Amino acid sequence: MIIAHRGASGYTPENTFAAFDKAIELGADYLELDVQLAKDEEVVVIHDAKVDRTSNGKGHIHHFTLKELQKLEAGSWFHEDFYGERIPTLTQVLQRYGGKIGMLIEVKYPSLYPTIAEKLAKLLTEEMYHNQTIIVQSFDFQFLKQFHQHAPSIPLGLLVKYSIKGITNNQLKEWSSLVSYINPNKALVTKTLVKKIHYRNMKTFPYTARDRKGMEKLIHNRVDGIITDFPDLTKKDPSIESSP
Ligand code: G3P
Ligand code: CA
């Protein structure tokens, strides 16, 4: 599986319609996107806790209402060609792309948003999203436990940072009681780790491949999918896909 990291963020401004359109154009299997809550508790698609890096605004997401957030311009920081891009809501993304591509939804900074588990669960379990392929992931295992109470049928992924310096068998055992995916930093991935993940009936989508070498190593280690800024990296050179 090819998972477009924040959309096709190597070519377009991350987490915008431009990035998601490009990911679809390049044949990605999933969109990876980051969600947080606006001041009025709308679920919005943005990576950082502040709007500063990816828009013309300044300040924390939770200090802006949805209306205020959507007035911000979120494309030209990347390139002037993308002037006019906006911060989308999760609902807009699900309505525009649902059924066309899978969604790997990462909840960012859940401790900043005490109601986000409930809000997100409510949104994703609405009937119109039942036929969509959705996975919810987070670095925060406690958050995933909480989310599962509200939406037990939605598959979960645990993100693992490089700083953990290795994943133990006991951790995998505990995690496998809740999650279907272990998604580590690519530097943690070995063939042995992937085998252990598979042994416990989980899958793995490591992050974030940005070059051919990185992709080749992950494919060689038999991962189930690759989170990448450049979803066309394997398609440009099909020989990568058949590496041993
Ligand atoms: O999906 C994995 C990856 O997105 C986690 O890191 O900082 O890009 O959200 P980050
Ligand atoms: Ca992310």
Q: Is 75 exposed, middle or buried (0-12, 13-18, 19+ CB in 10 A)?
A: buried
Residue with CA nearest ligand 1 atom 10: 47
Nearest to 41 by CA among 147, 138, 146, 112: 112
Ligand number nearest CA of 205 is: 1
Q: 116-124 and 90-97 helices cross at what angle (nearest 10)?
A: 20
Closest ligand 1 atom to residue 108 Cα is: 9
Token pair in block for residue 158:
């645990």
Q: What was the pLDDT predicted at 214?
A: 92
pTM of the model: 0.95
Q: Is 196 touching ligand 1 by the criterion CB < 6 Å?
A: no
The ligand that comes nearest to the alpha carbon of residue 162 is 1
Q: Which ligand is nearest to the CA of 209?
A: 1
Question: Structure tokens of 129?
Answer: 């999203």
- Please report, for residues 16, 148, 242, the alpha-carbon distance to residue 89 in angstroms, rounded to integers and kept in the order given: 10, 22, 38
Say what the pLDDT of residue 243 is: 40
**Minimum-distance ligand 1 atom for the alpha carbon of 5:** 4
Residue 229 in contact with ligand 1 by CB distance below 6 A: no
Domain 2-241: state its class. Answer: alpha beta
Calculate how far, in angstroms, residue 191's C-alpha sits from the geometric centre of ligand 1. 22
Instruction: Please report where in the chains the tokens 């049928």 appear, as a residue.
Output: 153
Which pLDDT belongs to residue 14?
A: 98
CA of 207 to the centre of ligand 1 (A): 7
Region label for 6, one of left (φ > 0), alpha (ψ between -120 and 50) or beta (otherwise): left
Q: What is the DSSP string of the chain?
A: -EEEETTTTTTS-TTSHHHHHHHHHTT-SEEEEEEEE-TT--EEE-SSSBSTTTSS--SBGGGS-HHHHHHS--STTT-GGGTT--PPBHHHHHHHHTTTSEEEEEEP-GGG-TTHHHHHHHHHTSGGGTTS-EEEEES-HHHHHHHHHH-TTS-EEEEE-GGG-S--HHHHHHHHTT-SEEEEBGGG--HHHHHHHHHTT-B---B-B-SHHHHHHHHHTT-S-EEES-TTHHHH-GGGGG--
Closest CA to 161 of 144, 180, 183: 183
State yes or no: is 47 an active-site residue: yes
Residue 42 CB partners (closer than 8 Å, separation 6+): 65, 66, 89
C-beta of 20 in contact with ligand 1 (< 6 A) = no
Cα distance between residue 55 and residue 60, in whole Å: 12
pLDDT by residue for the chain (244 residues), tens only, comes to: 999 999 999 999 999 999 999 999 999 999 999 999 999 999 999 999 999 999 999 999 999 999 999 999 999 999 999 999 999 999 999 999 999 999 999 999 999 999 999 999 999 999 888 889 999 999 999 999 999 999 999 999 999 998 777 899 999 999 999 999 999 999 999 999 999 999 999 999 999 999 999 999 999 999 999 999 999 987 755 555 444 3
Distance CA 108, CA 134 (A): 16
Residue nearest to atom 3 of ligand 1 (CA): 207
Query: What number does the ligand 1 atom closest to the CA of 34 have?
Result: 9
**Among this protein's residues, is 5 annotated catalytic?**
yes
In DSSP terms, 203 is beta-bridged to 181
Distance 59 CA to ligand 2 centre (A): 20
- 8 Å CB contact between 209 and 226: yes
Query: Domain map of the chain by residue range?
Result: 2-241
